[in-house]
Amino acid sequence: MVEAKLMFTVSVTADKPVLVGQDNVNGRRQLINCPKGTVEGVDPDGKAFTGVTLPCTVDSQVIRPNGVAELSARYGIRLDDGRSFYIENNGIRTVPPEYTQVVLNGGFVDPSLYYFVTTPKIEAYDDSLRWMERNVFLCKAERTPDTVVIHYYMVEK
C-alpha cells in the first residue's frame, strides 16, 4: 500500500479557454490563462507556508475525440516570505462516455463525475524547499468554469 500526505494546495482562477483548433483526428486543443492564484501548505516539519502564483501561468490542453483530456500546466510560485518554486504539471482528466460531447464542445462537467490526476515536477529556488525536488508528488484536481484547485500529495517512504 502506498501512502501519500497532503502537503499543499494551489488554487487558480482560469480564464475562458482559447481554442487553437479542433478536428476529428486530434480533438480540441485549447490554452487557458490562469492569471492569479494562491498556494497554502506545510513543509515536512509541519511549518505552514502561503503564497501566490505568478502571472503567465498557463494550462495547455488537448481533449481527444474520446473525451480524455491531456493536460500540461506551468506555474511559478512566490511564497509570502520571498522563496519561490516552479511546477511543471502533466496529467489527464477523463469523463464518463455520456459527457464526451460536452467537453468536446467546450463545456464543463461536475468534478464529482470525472478522474483528474496529475504528476508534477518541481524546481525549488531555495534550499529550504529542496524537499519538493527530492520527493514524488501526485495531484488530485478539480476544474470548474472559473477555477482549478490542485491538491499536492507527497508519496511517503
**Which pLDDT belongs to residue 63?**
92
Closest CA to 102 of 143, 72, 130: 143
- Please state, in angstroms and as integers, the Cα–Cα distance from residue 42 to each residue in 27, 34, 50, 51, following that order: 39, 23, 9, 12
Distance between CA atoms of 100 and 96, rounded to whole angstroms? Answer: 7
**Which pLDDT belongs to residue 144?**
85
Cell, residue 119: 504528476
> Tens of pLDDT along the chain (157 residues)?
889 999 999 999 999 999 999 999 999 999 999 999 999 999 999 999 999 999 989 999 999 999 899 999 999 999 999 999 999 999 999 989 999 889 888 888 888 888 999 999 999 999 999 999 999 999 999 988 889 999 999 999 8
